[in-house]
Amino acid sequence: MMPDDLWKKPHRRLNPLTREWVLVSPHRTQRPWLGKVEKAAQPSALQYDPDCYLCPGNARAGGVRNPQYNHTFVFDNDYPALLPEVQSGRTADPESLLTAVPEAGTCRVVCFSPRHDLTLPRMTAEELRAVVDVWAQEMASLETISWVRYVQIFENRGALMGASNPHPHCQIWASASLPNLPQKELESFAAYQTEKKRCLLCDYLRLELERKERVVCENDGFLALVPFWAVWPFETLILSKRHVSSLLQLTSEEKNLLGDILKRQTIRYDNLFETSFPYSMGLHQRPSGSAEGAAWHFHLHFFPPLLRSATVQKFMVGYELLATPQRDITPEDAAARLIATSEKHYLD
C-alpha cells in the first residue's frame, strides 16, 4: 500500500507491461476548463441507414454490395493500411539512419450486427457471443497465413476517436511483424517469467482481487479494472482469470463470459456521462506462429478520451507529447466513479 501522503501528492507510477512511467497529479483535478467542448454523442436513431456503407444490402466504396447479413459480417477493408502482396522480411541496415523495411499485412472489417443503431452495451448476450465467435474465427483463419506474426483486433468507437461510422464494427489488422506495443508487452511478460517463474498479469490479477481498490466489475472468467498505471482518465484493462494467451484457448463458457464483461463494462462507460462513450478498445493476444507466446496473458485495453464529462476531452499534448503522460484524477477515483454507475443502460 502506498502511504497516504504520496497518494495525494504528485507521484509517478510504473506500467509493468510497457515499463514506462505515468505522472499522477491528484491535486490538480479542480482546475478550470475554458478549452474545447465537444458535443455529447448519442447512438444513431436509425436501425437502417441507406447512406451507411456497413448496413446490409448497401454499396461500399468501390461498388461492392454488402449481403443481407443477419448476424455478423466480415469483409476485406477497401482501404487497407497493409497489403498482403508486399514482400516483407528483408533485414534493415542497422548502420543507416534511413532504415525502412517492407511490411506485409491484411486488413479486415467486422460488422457486429446488421442494426445500425446498436453498440456493444446494447447488444444481447447471444449477439455478443456471435461477436466473440467471429473474432476467434478470424484469428484462426488469419493465423493460417504463413507470414502472419501478429493479429490486432480493435474497435474505434465514436467520432472523437476517429471512427468513420456509428454502425457497430471493428477492424482487424494482421501483420508480418510484431507492432511496438505488443513487442514491449511480450518483452515484459518474458522478463517477468524468467525472473519470477510466474506470469506478470496472473500476479497482478491476484493483487487487484485482494485489494479491490480498482476493480470495476467481474464474472467467473474475467475482471475489469482501472489499472494502477492507467494513463487515460477512465482507461480500463480486462483480464482473463485463467492464464490463456489468446481467444483460441477460451472455453465456450469463457466466450460467453467475455461477452458479458464487455457488455457490463461498456454499459458503465455509457452511464458515466449518459453518452455513447467513445473509446479505442483492443484485444492483446500472444504473437502468432512461435512458442514464445506462452508467457503472454490474454487481456483487452479500453482507452477512452473523455476527461470530466461527455463534452470535455483529454488531450495528449504538451508535457505528455514531449515528456511523460500525466493524469489528474487518480486511477482509484476513476474506478470509484465507474463502480458507482449502474449496470442498467441509461437508455433502457
Active site residues: 169
User: Is 109 among the residues that bind ligand H2U (CB under 6 A)?
Assistant: yes
For ligand H2U, the binding residue among 118, 163, 307, 335 (CB under 6 A) is 163
CB–CB of 41/275 below 8 Å?
A: yes
| Minimum CB distance to ligand H2U smaller for 25 or for 141 | 141
Residue sitting closest to Zn ion (CB): 52
Mark residues 130-169: x for contact with Zn ion by CB under 5 A, - for none: -------------------------------------x--
Angle at the Cα of 81 (from 316 to 189), degrees rounded to 5? 60
With CB cut-offs between 5 and 8 Å by kind, which of Zn ion, ligand H2U, none does residue 52 bind?
Zn ion
219's grid cell: 464474472
Q: Which residues inside 87-116 make contact with Zn ion, applying CB under 5 A? A: 116
As a whole number of angstroms, the distance between CA 269 and CA 254 comes to 22
User: Is 225 among the residues that bind Zn ion (CB under 5 A)?
Assistant: no
| Minimum CB distance to ligand H2U smaller for 47 or for 164 | 164
DSSP string over 146-194 = TT--EEEEEEEESGGGT-S-SSSEEEEEEESS--HHHHHHHHHHHHHHH
Q: Which residues inside 171-190 make contact with ligand H2U, applying CB under 6 A? A: 171
Is the Cα dihedral 67, 73, 79, 83 positive or negative?
Answer: negative
Three-class DSSP labels, 109-122: EEECCCCCCCCHHH
User: Is 113 among the residues that bind ligand H2U (CB under 6 A)?
Assistant: no
Q: What residues have CB less than 8 Å from 312, skipping those under 6 apart?
A: 33, 35, 36, 37, 38, 306
For ligand H2U, the binding residue among 36, 50, 63, 79 (CB under 6 A) is 79
Stretch that binds ligand H2U, among 36-44, 160-168, 232-240, 331-339 (CB under 6 A): 160-168
As a whole number of angstroms, the distance between CA 103 and CA 176 comes to 6
Q: What residues have CB less than 8 Å from 29, skipping those under 6 apart?
A: 328, 329, 333
Stretch that binds Zn ion, among 46-54, 78-86, 217-225, 309-317 (CB under 5 A): 46-54
User: Is 63 among the residues that bind ligand H2U (CB under 6 A)?
Assistant: no
Give the total of residues touching ligand H2U (CB under 6 A): 12
Minimum Å gap between C-beta 46 and Zn ion is 8
For ligand H2U, the binding residue among 26, 58, 60, 202 (CB under 6 A) is 60
Stretch that binds ligand H2U, among 118-126, 158-166, 249-257, 322-330 (CB under 6 A): 158-166
As a whole number of angstroms, the distance between CA 50 and CA 57 comes to 9
For ligand H2U, the binding residue among 23, 38, 46, 53 (CB under 6 A) is 53
- Count CA atoms within 13 Å of residue 62 on its CB side: 7
| Minimum CB distance to ligand H2U smaller for 8 or for 65 | 65
CA terminus-to-terminus distance, the chain? 40
| Minimum CB distance to ligand H2U smaller for 68 or for 91 | 68
User: Is 346 among the residues that bind ligand H2U (CB under 6 A)?
Assistant: no
282's grid cell: 483492443
9's grid cell: 501528492
User: Is 87 among the residues that bind ligand H2U (CB under 6 A)?
Assistant: no
How are beta strands 279-284 and 150-157 bridged, if at all?
antiparallel
As a whole number of angstroms, the distance between CA 259 and CA 241 comes to 14
Stretch that binds ligand H2U, among 76-84, 180-188, 201-209, 236-244 (CB under 6 A): 76-84
Residues forming contacts to ligand H2U in the complex (CB under 6 A) are 53, 60-61, 77-79, 109, 156, 163-165, 171
